[in-house]
Amino acid sequence: MATVNLSDYKPLHITNAEDFSIGIVFSEWNDFVTYNLRDAALEILEKEGVKAENIKQFSVPGAFELNYASMQLCKERKFDAVIAIGCVIRGETPHFDFVCDAVAQGIKDCNILTDTPTIFCVLTDDTKEQSIARSGGDLGNKGVEAAVTALSMINFKRNLSNKTGNIGFGNSENK
């Protein structure tokens, strides 16, 4: 189990983020967590220069429905990346295991069956306290990490398409 904040944000200095188009699908189930994850992702995307009008948000009832919604957004080919946000907290039955496995596989399918990077931002915690700690509490906010990952994957894909071999950001020494 993580015991440190893994979500420390360091600006990426992306030079063309205003052109990025991002779809965010978030679950209404456990909204006390998912709204925090969504809001943190939005904050980072906007800090990095993604225009608010280029970020589209879609809510679904629960984590299981993230698969369908994410795949539909990927198939539309309107988005440079999709971020799937959810939270599943272990209960007293195996339902947790089935949902977590299905969601992970569904998001994986979006990544291998479409050309749109789909980011897995689904907390799968044993307790409500663990979810709170990872959605703006002591252990950071996984929404921050999801936004950074989405931006990184868009940049990767664009550089790959341009065949530059450059996967860095801005004017960094990675070029």
What residues are labeled active site? 95
Q: Which two tokens stand for residue 25?
A: 């699908």
Q: Length of the chain in residues, anyone?
A: 175
Residue 78 region by backbone torsions, left for phi larger than 0, else alpha for psi between -120 and 50, else beta = alpha
3 among annotated binding-site residues: no
110 among annotated binding-site residues: no
Residue 14 region by backbone torsions, left for phi larger than 0, else alpha for psi between -120 and 50, else beta = beta
145 among annotated binding-site residues: no
Give the position of tokens 């360091």: 10
Q: Which two tokens stand for residue 44?
A: 């980072």
169 among annotated binding-site residues: no
92 among annotated binding-site residues: yes
64 among annotated binding-site residues: yes
63 among annotated binding-site residues: yes
43 among annotated binding-site residues: no
89 among annotated binding-site residues: yes
DSSP 169: -
Residue at 122: amino acid letter? V
How far is it, in rounded angstroms, from Cα 18 to Cα 50? 4
Helix (H, G, I), strand (E, B) or coil at 24: strand
Annotated binding-site members for 5-amino-6-(D-ribitylamino)uracil: 29, 63-65, 87-89, 120
Annotated binding-site members for (2S)-2-hydroxy-3-oxobutyl phosphate: 92-93, 134
Annotated binding-site members: 29, 63-65, 87-89, 92-93, 120, 134
